Structure 1
Amino acid sequence: MANLAVVVDRLARQGKDNLEISLVAQDQQTLPQWHAGDHIDLYLPNQVIRQYSLTGSPRDQDEYCICVKKERQSRGGSRYLHEQLRIGQTLEISAPRSAFPLLDAEHYLLLAAGIGITPLLAMAEELEAQQKSFELFYYVKHSMDVAFTKRWLKGFQYGQCHVLCSAEGQSIRKGLPDVFDTVQAGTQIYLCGPEAFMLFCQDACLSKAWQAEQIHFEAFAPLKQKVVDEQQQGFIVRLNSTGQEFIIPPDKTIAQVLVEQQLSIPLSCEMGMCGACLTRVCQGEVDHQDTVQTESEKNASEQYIALCCSRAKSAVLEIDL
């Protein structure tokens, strides 16, 4: 699906460092339907592309809402949105897509930390609309960091929400909530937040005999970095459009080499998580190292490679550029 032009309709502070951004379709066009767990690519005027989870109710098709934390080490994404974005400004976004779908279950346990609340709020809203039971645990450092305070005060009919502040002695490091002590076969667990939070929750759930298939997560960085193979070989990348060939050494990615050659490559996370640089493979065998594609996609007859991290098993890889 082609990218969409949207207009910034509303800006609102959500906690100390979070900015909620409401996006509406340009010229009153209808926005594509989205689902809990979906995210969009946001193309900023400073040439930065970032992925943000959609939040709020998926039943509301009049707007897309995202909530962005201002990062101290921002590389241009959150800083631009917090400091330069204005109501009425036009932006380009991708259609919504998901690597974090809400599966069917009897009950749901949702664990969020910090800005990781954004997709889980959407899940809570969707579960409420479906009249399905859930329990949400939202961890922040201080009470001033809480986003969407009015929504938590309103409450839910079919679910419970707990806002927990580590500064008040309610850190996840003290252990998972008691409800996790009893494994429930019909329950699905959803996690979203910083790496340390995710790893702790995942390991704690597994130690309590929850099955890996019951635990789902969306991280904003890879949970575990892949160790670089010291025996990793170089290979050649050929561009389908021109026939140009470039040597990819063991210590560089395809994207790095192509950017060095002044070629325009759509990059965002540069960690194989977002899909911005997925490119069709014309010939050759791929060594997939991304986390955005499913196993079925990685084994499909038509292959796509994440230029920022994946490599070639064959000596030559021809790509659709």
Structure 2
Amino acid sequence: MAKPLTVVAVAGAALLVRRALRRRVQGSPLWPMPALDEPVSGRPRSRALRLLVASRETVAEGVVQLRLEGRGLPRWEPGAHLDLVLPSGLVRQYSLCGDPADTSSYTVATRLVEGGRGGSREVHEQVQEGMEIEVRGPRNRFPLVDAPAHVFVAGGIGITPILPMLRALPDGAEWRLLFGGRTRASMPYLEEVRALGAGRVSVVAEDEDGRPDLDALFADLPEKTAVYCCGPEGLLAAVAGRVPDVRFERFTAGVADGGAFEVELRRSGRVVAVPADSSVLAAVRAELPDTAYSCEQGFCGTCQQRVLEGEVEHRDELLTDAERDDSMLICVSRSRSDRLVLDM
């Protein structure tokens, strides 16, 4: 059956947006990018917006909060995140931690990560009050669900998606939170969190208290309790090892939970091995270092490549069903077959 012309047109527009972003990352500035805000094959697409950095303040040691102002902004629900297109063209995702009912501004916060991939440093050093910044979203992969009880575990900056959840819980809801960090000074929104749940919040500062006691937290967990965790990989792994059904929000995409396989780069005449603990992007860039990429989390589309052969395990948050027929985002997606063939 032929596809409706509107779907074809929208898919073409989506491809133009991603190509524009790719050119920006590779050094050809294209500003502003086209707006896009329509569903394709059942997958919502978010328009690009340019918002004013109305305020910038330090809310904890090493943590900067940005309030981004606009008009008639899309509504969001607790747990949602926003894509920020930084001045360099890097795309990074930050959890929304403001008021979901406020359609005039978005609030995000980011911790400076020493030795990271550069996004947090760019926010801290280059994004200033009074400038404009491009955003896309919001999107929500970490929603608050209906449940008889809720348990939250936050590590450091991982409190940002959880904070709006705590505000949204109805009076009388059964919940508790374990909020951990290196030091109390490094834990953003600490006083507000404590005020929201007197007697329900356990604060664990590692320099004072050591590691949190997760066994005690999950002892005698009521049936059907919803458990949420956001923080560094070590914390997520520790929680997952104790609770079989956990809702996670990761700082980075998980790529190391699949088998090893090979990728043939047809145009280059090369074959690269992709270990179980590496991404296709990392393996490809070892051979082709100029391969474009940005977010490394399956959101921006910069690393999209055409697939000639093989079965892809798609893990991105961007491609439509039609686009997945013959392409993939190599930063997060993997192979179900022993070999993939890419048009590279």
Q: Same fold (TM over 0.5)?
A: yes
The alpha carbon displacement at 1:287 in A equals 2.2
1:108: how far off?
A: 0.6
Q: Which amino acid aligns with 2:271?
A: P
2:313 equivalent in structure 1: 288
Could you tell me which amino acid in structure 2 is paired with residue 305 of structure 1?
M
Are 2:310 and 1:268 equivalent residues in the alignment? no
User: Which sections of structure 2, spanning at least 5 residues, go unmatched?
Assistant: 1-36, 38-46, 275-279
Give 1:71's match in structure 2, choosing from 82, 106, 113.
113
Q: Is the CA contact 1:37–1:54 (under 8 Å) kept in the aligned structure 2? A: yes
SS state at 2:202 partner: strand
Secondary structure, counterpart of 1:122 in structure 2? helix
Count, aligned residues? 288
From 54, 61, 83, the equivalent of 1:9 is 54
Q: Give me the whole-angstrom Cα distance separating, in 2, the residues matched to 1:215 and 1:147.
A: 23
Structure 1 position 96 matched with structure 2 position 118: no
SS in 1 for 2:74: coil
Measure how far apart 1:48 and its partner are: 1.5
The secondary structure found in structure 2 opposite 1:233 is: strand
Cross-structure match for 1:242 = none
Matched, 1:191 2:191: no
Q: Is the 8 A contact 1:248 1:254 kept in 2?
A: no
Of 302, 307, 314 in structure 1, the residue corresponding to residue 330 of structure 2 is: 307
Match for residue 76 of structure 2 among 30, 34, 59: 34
Mapped partners of 2:87, 2:209: distance in 1: 42
Contact 2:298 2:329 in 1 (8 A): no
Change (3 A) 1:24 1:259: farther
1:221 aligns with 2:266: no
Contact persistence 1:286–1:310 (CA under 8 A):
no
Equivalent residue of 1:50, what SS? strand
Task: Name the structure 2 match of 1:106.
Answer: 148
Which of 59, 62, 66 is the equivalent residue of 1:21? Answer: 66
C-alpha distance in structure 2 between counterparts of 1:145 and 1:224, whole Å: 28
The alpha-carbon distance between structure 1 residues 317 and 72, as it changes in their structure 2 partners (threshold 3 A), is closer
**Unaligned runs of at least 5 residues, structure 1:** 206-211, 238-244
**What is the DSSP-based 3-state SS (H/G/I as helix, E as strand, rest coil) of the residue aligned with 1:234?**
strand
What letter corresponds to residue 163 of structure 1 in structure 2?
V
TM-score (norm 2): 0.72
Q: 1:227 to 1:306 in 2, by over 3 A?
A: same
Moved over 6 A (4+): 280-283
- CA distance in 2 between counterparts of 1:302 and 1:11 reads 38
Q: Is the 8 A contact 1:198 1:223 kept in 2?
A: no
Matches within 5 A, 1:203-282: 203-205=241-243, 212=244, 214-222=245-253, 225-226=256-257, 229=260, 232-236=261-265, 245-247=267-269, 249-251=271-273, 253=280, 256=284, 260=288, 265-269=292-296, 273-277=297-301, 279=304
Q: In the alignment, which residue of structure 1 is the partner of 2:99? A: 57
1:160 Cα offset (Å): 2.9
The Cα of 1:100 is off from its aligned counterpart by: 1.6
CA distance in 2, matches of 1:187, 1:56: 25
Shift of 1:152: 2.7
Structure 2 CA distance for aligned equivalents of residues 268 and 16 of structure 1: 25
Distance 1:82 1:186 in 2: 40
Aligned twin of 2:201 = 161
**Cα RMSD over matched residues?**
3.3
Separation in 1 of the partners of 2:210 and 2:197? 22
C-alpha distance in structure 1 between counterparts of 2:289 and 2:214, whole Å: 49
CA distance in 2, matches of 1:309, 1:85: 27
Match for residue 184 of structure 2 among 136, 143, 155: 143
